[in-house]
Amino acid sequence: MKKKLFGAMLAAAMTFSLLGGAACIYAESADVATEDLDNKEDELVIGSTRDIAPGEQEAYYCIMSLSVWEPLISADNDGNLQPCLAVSWESNEDATEWTFHLREGVTFHDGEPFNADAVLANLDRHKAASGMSSIQYSYNFDSTYPGFVSAEKVDDYTVKMTFSQSYPMLPENMVNYGSPMYSPNNFNEDGSFNGLPQGTGAYKLVEHSADEYILLTRNDDYYGEKAHVKNIRIKVIPDAATKVSAMDAEEIMGVTDLGAIFPSGAEKLLADSDERFAVTDAKSLVTHYAIFNGSKAPFDDVRVRQAVSMVINRDEIVNDLYAGFGGVPTVNILNFSSPYAEDFEITNDVEKAKELVKEALGDEEYTIDIVTSTSMANRYPYKEEAELMQGWLEEIGIHANIQIYEGAAYSEIKEAGDYGISLGTRGLSTQDPYTQLSMFLSSDASMNTTDCLGYSNPEADELLQNVRSELDPEKRTEMYDRLQEIGTEDLPAAPILNVQNYVLYNQKVVKNYQATNEGVDLPAIEWVE
């Protein structure tokens, strides 16, 4: 009955957003006077589970959905490339030279002009900061710009990049987190920030108290359509129940970020008799996985990994833990927002799984740890998911304990290989499928070190080595299709669901509260008259 109630309310309240993470996707110049936008209280307060602006030592300082910084190239939620700070681009015949034409009339928040010199400075910064940690995606220059030789200024608003090898998917790899732009005055020599981020976005980040709040104020000099709400304060509220109470008490008027509110909390708020609350959703770039420690038994045997995937009842997870709404079941390593993503049949067969385990292990029994992190358990119902998985594993003769660790300890446990299955997320950081597929399927993948995947497949390695330079689109698609097939066959990790980002808000107070693939389109929010 609860599921039916929630589904009916969602159907009535839902607004689907076509926006991607960057506000500039659809930005055009607007003649609206900024004073006309200040039509109500001057500060909107919303909540987030984590600090989404970790600070100066973070590779991006803050996540893109805050609309503080913008990339050269963005994409909509269907993965279609969109111009942002670069308005167009083209390559030579063998895709070794790429020319980017830049948007004119744009300034950074500190007044520095955005131009070719700024792009070159950001590329230098990207190289200097390569390897810097991030709560979102890895910051690695060589991965984003493989075979990079040089970048040169053609004129004030044109930049040419040269590569040692063909790379026809460069624009897809530069999407969003692959080409962030900040003021050239905003960096130290090592690429770290020397103060608050100075981007080109519709909002300025003017105050940040770590793990407490973020204060944004409208950029009245923004080149495109101005944000409607002048100030937005984002409070960090890790506890799920506290966040629901804050929404109910109208201490916050909405939530943002992936995993911003548990489905159970959403159900409670949507059942409000005054119909104060509504929800919007959008495809996210994030997939949930059961990641195997394939460096040792029992998960060094592909048959055991296949058996685990077969007993995971993905529909039950989505329906019971995500209220049938927060995720889409999958067995594909590649996230569903990629235009290259294929649909594969999901097999749930306990008897077949038992046969595979018996064939692989005989009568030997194993006890393993299912691990996850506190931060993940705060954002998603991972404890409950682990409990379901514990029961399913027992059916095929694998005993499991559940362990939840703080961040540093969680990383140490995985790197040491002191676990059996890890519940976690990975994201599609670019629109080149290579980034997500190689993460799991390459023998040189960092996850072989950080998560002890212990995975290697010569066919996958050869495909990954050649696919990035393949100029024929049809052949490239065939290669990506085969890599996805290998992922479903070998299962270095068992994909569970693609995250459908859903966010709640108080519709009596604000409107146009549109979900994006990682948060909310903040500039679009308006006060209700």
Distance from the Cα of residue 124 to its chain's centroid? 25
Domain 284-500: state its class: alpha beta
Note every long-range contact of 113-119, with CB atoms under 8 Å and residues 24 or more positions apart, other chains counting. 114/85, 114/181, 114/200, 115/156, 115/157, 116/153, 116/154, 116/155, 116/156, 116/157, 116/158, 116/159, 117/153, 117/156, 117/184, 118/181, 118/183, 118/184, 119/72, 119/151, 119/159, 119/181
Of the candidates 142, 16, 201, 190, the residue with the CA atom closest to the CA atom of residue 468: 142
Reading the block at residue 3, the tokens are: 């599921």
Sole residue written with tokens 């111009």: 83
**Dihedrals phi, psi of 378, to nearest 5 degrees:** -75, -25
Distance CA 193, CA 186 (A): 6
Distance from the Cα of residue 219 to its chain's centroid? 25
How many residues are listed for the chain in this entry? 529
Reading the block at residue 340, the tokens are: 């290259």
* CA max distance for the chain: 75
Pairing of strands 366-373, 421-427: parallel
77 with 339: CB under 8 angstroms? no
SS3 letters across 293-341:
CCCCCCCCCHHHHHHHHHHCCHHHHHHHHCCCCCEEECCCCCCCCCCCC
Distance CA 282, CA 517 (A): 6
157 with 193: CB under 8 angstroms? no
The residue type of 379 is R
Tell me the three state secondary structure of residue 14: coil
pLDDT tens by residue, the chain, 529 residues: 334 334 444 443 433 333 334 455 444 444 444 455 554 558 999 999 999 999 998 999 999 999 999 999 998 877 889 999 999 999 999 999 999 999 999 999 999 999 999 999 999 999 998 888 788 777 789 989 999 999 999 999 999 999 999 999 999 999 999 999 999 999 999 999 999 999 999 999 999 999 999 999 999 999 999 999 999 999 999 998 999 999 999 999 999 998 888 888 898 999 988 999 999 999 998 999 999 999 999 999 999 999 999 999 999 999 999 887 789 999 999 999 898 999 999 999 999 999 999 999 999 999 999 999 999 998 899 999 999 999 999 999 999 999 999 989 999 999 999 999 999 999 888 889 998 999 999 999 889 889 999 999 999 999 999 999 999 999 999 999 999 999 999 999 999 999 988 899 999 999 999 999 889 999 999 999 8
178 with 85: CB under 8 angstroms? no
List beta partners, residue 388. none
Edge-to-edge, what's the strand order for the sheet holding 231-236? 43-48, 231-236, 213-218, 203-209
**Dihedrals phi, psi of 449, to nearest 5 degrees:** -95, -50
CATH classification number, 2-53+201-276+507-527, choose in 1.10.1660.10, 3.40.50.2300, 3.40.190.10, 2.70.70.10: 3.40.190.10
Please name the fold of domain 69-186: Dipeptide-binding Protein; domain 1 (3.90.76)
Tell me the three state secondary structure of residue 280: strand
Q: Is the peptide bond before 298 cis (omega within 30 degrees of 0)?
A: yes
SS3 letters across 359-395:
HHHCCCCEEEEEEEEHHHHHHCCHHHHHHHHHHHHHH
In the chain, domain spans: 2-53+201-276+507-527, 69-186, 284-500
